[in-house]
Structure 1
């Protein structure tokens, strides 16, 4: 669920920026800056995961994304969009990389192909759920900001479900 929120924010960012009246050239620069910010922060997440384990860092990134969704409600200017994009960059690569590696640690090694197949199928499904939620809420309210805010549900559900995931390998499955 939370990765669906991450993917939706990334995929829908330009649409949201256009709704705010930001030019395409500025949007391209903002997306490039997001990637430049994401690179060192992804490395930082990896380093911190070695020290503290992946699970608390995934929760940290989920929290950052909830802040992003709340901040999006109050955005009005291109500067706000720049700030939002930098926030996304601080957690985008980290949450994706740590989630995939965490998944790799908890699945049985002998059945990893099967499990990664399911992982990819659910990833494709998530490309529908988040944008649909955002689109429906935007359509109902007439405000893209509320559509982005609705993604908080995905982060909360994902975080709550993640609380119940044990951080041990299931070799004997």
Structure 2
């Protein structure tokens, strides 16, 4: 599995970015959102139970990430057509403000080393800095959803470029050594 300090892989994937007719899909690649922090979160598959709780929460908090000059990108191995169908049929996903990327060939998931033995991505989260370097990785078992506030807390800490103690929160003092 790729980890902290590794370059995030190159990729080009179809994504659902809207439900508006004719504007549903676009290609997103490793050069998209140049100069921004990026938060990639992977989920096992669409039309499941834990996944929409995470996706909806990342969507609700997308403004908090944008305030930190970060773009959130959700990824699974379902097609962009399946992503769109799910958005159209799930109340919590209809007005989603973040792209849903389709890693249908599993190339990005495989390059990152996060494919479960069943062929679906693990619940992995990567914070990638503006230079494309992975700065944080978290991987959960398929049965446990992640904490979006923790992802924000870690992003805040990374963006200070200082030493942040245990349970540090934005606005608190960092360590001086």
Normalised by the length of structure 1, the TM-score is 0.28
Bigger relative CO (Cα 8 Å, ≥ 6 apart): 1
**Greater strand proportion:** 2
Higher helix proportion (structure 1 or 2):
1
Output the TM-score relative to the length of structure 2.
0.28
